[in-house]
Amino acid sequence: MAIQILGCGNILKGDDGFGPAVAQYIEKYYRVDEDVLIVDAGMACGEWIVPLVHDDRRPDRLIIIDVIDLGLDPGTIRTLKPDDLKLLNTSYSSHFFPDKETFMELVELGMDILFVSCQLKNIPRELSMVLSPELKGIVPKVALIVAELADLVLI
């Protein structure tokens, strides 16, 4: 497989479900070739990423979709590389991501890794499957960004 797309997040925690929402949108509206794997990884992103270090069949490109808190306006989109993560003062995900060294090892093994992220507005304390209007409104835009990175076309 040439490309793996991971939609990361907890769909029961409001804006945290953004990654899975984008992954589902792509599956619904884009033609996905056999060399592209789209995964709603939920809270288990690390379970999908860490084994790639030892897998000779690892994808050439890994695209991770997740919300991020950079103190920007809600819905602000950023495409980041693993080196950009050093800009963050705190952990960059609550989804059991591996440490930065794992990402750097994958890069050294030849994998192109991209984080397509957006600034969250709110992660509620109570259970909610509803994205904020700011994030719900940009799901198609982020899906298009990911589709372009994966050479996908609309159905």
Could you report the per-residue pLDDT of 57-95, keeping only the tens digit for each?
999 999 999 998 888 999 999 999 988 876 444 444 555
Are the CB atoms for 31 and 155 separated by under 8 Å?
yes
Write the CB contacts of 69 (distance below 8 Å, at least 6 apart in sequence): 119, 120
* pLDDT averaged over every residue in the chain: 90
Please indicate whether residue 148 or residue 93 has the higher confidence score (pLDDT): 148
**Which domains are seen in the chain, by residue range?**
3-154 (3.40.50.1450)
What is the pLDDT at residue 118?
95
Instruction: State how far the alpha carbon of 18 is from the alpha carbons of 50, 143, 144, in Å.
Output: 22, 11, 14
- How does residue 102 score in pLDDT terms, banded at 50, 70 and 90? confident
Sign, CA dihedral 39-45-66-18, equals positive
What is the pLDDT at residue 91?
46
